[in-house]
Amino acid sequence: MLFWIAILVGIVVGTLATRIGFYETLVYSFNLSVSVYLAVFLTPFVVTHVPAATEIDAGLPLTLAGLVIGSFILLYGISYLLFTGQFTIAFPKVVDLHLSALVGFGAGWLIVSFLAVILSITSPPWGETIMGQGTLETHTKALRSTCDRIHGFVRAGEPAVDTGQILAWLADSKKAGEGRPPVGPRDANEAAGAPTGNSATN
């Protein structure tokens, strides 16, 4: 069912994107992608250093949601001050229409992929109906691909953290409650049972 929801949301967002144009859609989609990346990769750090974040009911999903919303608002303000609020770039109507719809569809799919992570954490009674027979890995392909690509650009020479490892940790609410999240590349690999750089060479 989540697959069809993703298609529906993608179509809706893609339709809205055609009304604002490719330039604005591209900027907003970039902001969304970075916001999702920051939410996923910063949540373990926040939980570690702010234990109260998971002491309340639904603390972990609220942390994720708060980070993605806060990051998007911040990036939206910055992009408006520097780009969309200052100038616009005109594209041929046919190109503008089709590219806007395509990028908007991808943004909608990413939103549903992020919501799948929230569902996997909260596990509501109706969650299995929404998720269907697919696994978390299946439903978060767009999110994992986006986060891995961004992390490939921003990491500073440290061993790469696989987004799937962090998502697996996020889905484990009990582990989050114990306050043992992967806060760095090496810790994430160890938490997931993957060999670190030193252990791989020994």
Q: Is 193 exposed, middle or buried (0-12, 13-18, 19+ CB in 10 A)?
A: exposed
Report the chain's mean pLDDT, rounded to a whole number: 83
pLDDT (mean) for 163-170:
87
The pLDDT tens digits for 120-149 are 888 777 767 787 767 778 889 999 999 999
Q: Give me the pLDDT at residue 37, please.
A: 96
Q: Give me the pLDDT at residue 185, please.
A: 42
Q: Are 63 and 47 a contacting pair, CB within 8 Å?
A: yes
DSSP class of residue 82 equals: I
76 Cβ neighbours under 8 A, 6+ residues apart: 28, 31
pLDDT (mean) for 86-107:
94
What are the b/e assignments for 63-99, b being 16+ CB within 10 Å?
Answer: bbbebbeebbeebbeebeeebbeeeeeeeeeeebeeb
pLDDT (mean) for 54-65:
86
Q: Nearest Cα to 104, choosing from 4, 5, 2, 30?
A: 30
Domain ranges in the chain? Answer: 2-189
pLDDT of residue 65 exceeding 80, the answer is yes
70 Cβ neighbours under 8 A, 6+ residues apart: none
The answer, as to whether pTM is greater than 0.75, is yes
- Give the tokens for residue 187: 């810790």
- Tell me, rounded to whole angstroms, the distance of Cα 190 from its chain centroid: 22
Distances (CA, A) of 139 to 77, 98, 116, 130, 167: 30, 25, 7, 11, 11
